[in-house]
A and B are shown apart, each in its own frame.
Chain A
Amino acid sequence: MTLTEEKKEKKIETLEEATIRFAGDSGDGMQLTGGQFTNATAIVGNDLSTLPDFPAEIRAPAGSLAGVSAFQIHFSSKEIHTPGDILDVLVAMNPAALKTNLKDLKPGGMLIVNINAFNETNLKKAGYDKNPLEDGLTQKYKVFSIEISRLTQLALEEMKLPAKVVDRSKNLFALGLMYWLYTRPMEKTIEWLKKKFAKDPVTLEANLKVLKAGYHFGETTEAFISNYEIKHAKILPGKYRNITGNEATVLGLIAAHQLTGLTIFLGSYPITPASDILHELSKYKNFGIRTFQAEDEIAAIGSAIGASFAGGLGVTTTSGPGVCLKSEFINLAVKTELPIIICDIQRGGPSTGLPTKTEQADLLQAVFGRNSESPVPIIAAATPGDCFETMIEAVRIAIKYMTPVFFMSDGYLANGSEPWRIPEISNFSKIEVTFRKEINGFSPFLRDEKTLARPWALPGTPGLEHVIGGLESEQTTGKVSYDPQNHDAMVKIRAKRIAQIENDIPDIKVVFGEPKGDLLILGWGSTLGAINAATEKLLEKGYKVANAHLRHLNPFPKNLGEFLKNYKKVLIPEVNLGQLKLLIRAKYLVDAQGFNVVSGQPLKVNGIVETAEKMIRG
């Protein structure tokens, strides 16, 4: 069979952009389907943004609402910033997937359903009294009821495979169909399948047959009048790849090894959505990377601190609940002034909360969540690819200033992907590391005049024997001291040495919009895409607005206070109840307002636009 066989002439319509979502049971392979569609879309040269959304349970009961797994992709011939607010196409593999996802499909949007899954049992599991497809849906949406399960069976009839194996490949039918609908090349997926099933030719053959069957179905069926193309986007020239935030975090750490020459030691305990960093990094043992899966979150950071004491760079990766457990050890690193990186891949909370959903509500935990006065620099990534540079910046600050540093990402960045222009590592400056060797004049807390950093003197260095610890210590000598004046001085030195890092970070600047105006939209972390898109819309509407985004959250850029004064009003959209807002209001006495939706999902562009318009209108 070839792809051109029996080809009917159908019109290809050119679109600027599209947002589609694959939704099905956890066992239906929706994440894999979405991932393959993403790769094919990247090859076409579209700009894209993805949003995987899966349940916390590994296998929730089949057909249940709790077990629905979805993958959304927004792709375009122009630059885009978000995975999209509303869907042009929803592929629903069963009634539960329809029920949980239909609300996001735009009126008149395309709804593709696997009609074979709409049986009584599944409808009941999804809580439908009657079949929604026979209940007015066709008036609201373009409904395509396709016998995906049966057509898959037919495609594989001759192979006489077990029913389970046949059923499992139906996602490839949907993928093939969507490849046809959006004129994506199948070659990358075919290559991928060949590699994956190199040792299992039967499964390979079955998968290829079903994928192609889906594609041909699109071509031959009368149901679709046309298919679509989305021309490649004008994006910066260069070599690209797709990357998730967690992958970029890993690459950032490997790059940090290269730039510092230090062995990277990752002490980590599995936790969603951070575990992939541990998985991925543990592959690079040939690269100056040592990974340690500890017995708990506390041991994970403890081992990282030990590694840094001995001259490696200790890193620990976790999510909010893990940060809770690590806080005592973070304070030990604050007190002993050792460089470590604490990666908080934020998720919904409090407590166990929503392990697989995103949130930005650990900011105040990172700033304040420890006993006593405990300043820690905080850096946040804004997009999946940005995790790379942000990690390098976190490492630079940790080493230069001998301090623990928070690296903030979240579930949306961690699992979401975007095309990433592969950086030239030679464009990054080396990060200078100095281990103290000289005995004369050594004192464990004798500070560098400029950075206020203490010397990094490693066990094993003759003549520099010293003890560090959590008890308050005398300035310079580091000897245990309970002296009141000394403690007051030490508290202030610790605060100052972190605050003065503001002199060594870039000024905040406008991303989109005017240098002065009616409204500034200020953000941090993964809201960048939504805020950019909202600002562009507001600018198109003629408003005098701008947006700016903070990578450094402690300390803030030095010019932030002055910068805020350039705008009459400040809007801070966050996936929390206003944590950055609280900090900005407290520090700069600015009457900033928030836009806060804490639903486990990224912010919607329209919500930001509406709030901004209301604020401008006053």
Chain B
Amino acid sequence: MATTEPQKYTKADFESPNDVRWCPGCGDYAILSAVQSVMPTLGIPKEKFVFISGIGCSSRFPYYMNCYGFHTIHGRALTVATGVKSINPDLSVWVITGDGDGLSIGGNHFMHAIRRNQDFKILLFNNKIYGLTKGQYSPTSELGKKTKSTPYGSIDNPVNPVSLAIASGATFVARTVDNNVKHMMEILKRAAAHKGTAFVEIYQNCLVFNDNAFDDFTKKDVKDDHSVYVEHGKPLIFGKNHDKAIKLNGFHSEVINAANGSMKEALVHNENVDDRGLSYVIGQMGVENEGLPVAFGVLRDIRQPTYQERLFEQENLAKEKGSKASLESILNAGDTWVVK
């Protein structure tokens, strides 16, 4: 018998004997390792984890976990997860997707799973490129991006995944990056603890088709000045010398420092406000608004009834009301007559 004592698990329990076939040096390895490290800490029996993915490099993930898994079809993992969770709400369901799988072919399901507050996690590996099909631009590729399918540069405006998630009504939205494993693990734990859809965007480097895509805010020499790690209740202060802050100016955010303002004006992060405005502004920084640092951390974490809570509340109510109904009574409903 496999053990069902959660505290006894180690990372090794979640490692699959299958060979991992991502390119050497792929950011996916760091994410896999972080997930495998976090799982034993969650107090959930191993057999209750289900990893569901679509198609793409990231979607090979379930094969590399020693858990229940379903490698489904392109863009549709969220729909399968919806069915799984609606039959067995006790399972801890993790959807693994990418920027192409989750936002291009699966864009429709992304919005609807999130607005329903389906009780599962969505880890979106964003490498801003199609890797498995060998290097076409993706919905998150920047304007002007030259790829195999855009030799003259992309003319598409990119989408910011966290903006889309917040606009869809996500109750938990976070962003992290593959080269900061410690932060990623914290975020994964937070996502695991959330009831409802937990959306995590993970910037992930594809060293074959889109290497150094995140250098602007992840490289050692620039990261402190070009990124800000947000925490609930704390001001948005960043910079090598902690000398810069984000200030809210109307609907906009701007950078202030001792020279042009007071640090007391710094925006204080609040994950728990129902209004989506604050998380939306922070999520846009550095991605949709140039000149601002890119925010990492939990942008939003609010509690709302999950789809499953509503589903079973309704079902239980119907059962209480209709407990005396039998199949016979349904078959015999309406006008009937007897032929002798």
Contacts and interface: CB of A to CB of B under 8 A. Distances in A.
A422 B331 contact: yes
A251 interface: yes
B338 A239 contact: yes
B84 A459 contact: yes
Interface in A53-80: none
B109 A469 contact: no
Contacts of A485: none
A105 interface: no
B323 interface: yes
B37 interface: no
A180 interface: no
B83 interface: yes
Interface stretch (B74-82, B255-263, B268-276): B74-82
A465 B68 contact: yes
**Which range contains the number of B residues in contact with the other chain?**
35 or more
B337 A286 contact: no
B62 A469 contact: yes
Nearest to A257: B327
Given A425-B328, A467-B71, A267 B62 contact: no
A460 B70 CA distance: 14
A467 B69 contact: yes
Interface stretch (A301-309, A486-494, A529-537): A301-309
Given A236-B339, A459-B68, A295 B108 contact: yes
Nearest to A292: B86
A296 B108 contact: yes
Contacts of B81: 306
A401 B83 CA distance: 21
A378 interface: no
Contacts of A299: 76, 78-79, 82, 108-109, 112
A462 interface: yes
Interface string A290-326: 1010111011111111111111101000000000000
Interface string A220-231: 000000000000
Contacts of A258: 327
B152 to A, nearest CB: 32
B47 A263 contact: no
B88 A311 contact: yes
B322 A309 contact: no
Contact of A465 (B46, B83, B315): B46
B87 A307 contact: yes
Q: Which of A42, A298, A467 has the most CB of B within 10 A?
A: A467
Nearest to B334: A241
B332 A241 contact: yes
B73 A290 contact: no
Nearest to B67: A465
Contact of A286 (B69, B73, B85, B321): B321
Contacts of A39: 335
Contacts of A236: 339
Contacts of B108: 295-296, 299
B242 interface: no
B133 interface: no
B76 A329 contact: yes
Given A310-B91, A469-B70, A292 B335 contact: no
Interface string B305-340: 000000100110011011101011011111111111
A239 B48 contact: no
B4 interface: yes
B50 interface: yes
Interface in A81-126: none
Contact of B83 (A232, A286, A314): A314
A469 B69 CA distance: 8
Contact of B87 (A188, A263, A423): A263
A303 B80 contact: yes
Interface in B169-191: none
A470 interface: yes
Contacts of B52: 306
Contacts of A128: none
A255 B112 CA distance: 31
B57 to A, nearest CB: 14
A542 interface: no
Contacts of B339: 45, 232, 235-240
B335 to A, nearest CB: 5
Contacts of A466: 68-69
Contacts of B79: 267, 294, 298-303, 306
Given A285-B318, A286-B321, A328-B73, A306 B335 contact: no
Contact of A463 (B47, B65, B80, B311): B47
Q: Which of B2, B83, B330 has the most CB of A within 10 A?
A: B83
Contacts of B340: 237
Given A468-B69, A470-B71, A462 B2 contact: yes
Contact of B80 (A292, A306, A471, A479): A306
A429 to B, nearest CB: 15
B86 A302 contact: no
A460 B48 CA distance: 5
B63 A240 contact: no
A510 interface: no
Contacts of A311: 87-88
A-B pairs, top 3 by smallest CB distance, nearest first, are A306-B83, A302-B79, A469-B71
Interface of B: 1-2, 4, 18, 45-48, 50-52, 55, 62-63, 65-73, 76, 78-88, 90-91, 108-109, 111-112, 311, 314-315, 318-319, 321-323, 325, 327-328, 330-340
Given A237-B340, A307-B83, 7 more contacts: A240-B339, A287-B325, A295-B109, A301-B79, A305-B80, A467-B65, A479-B18
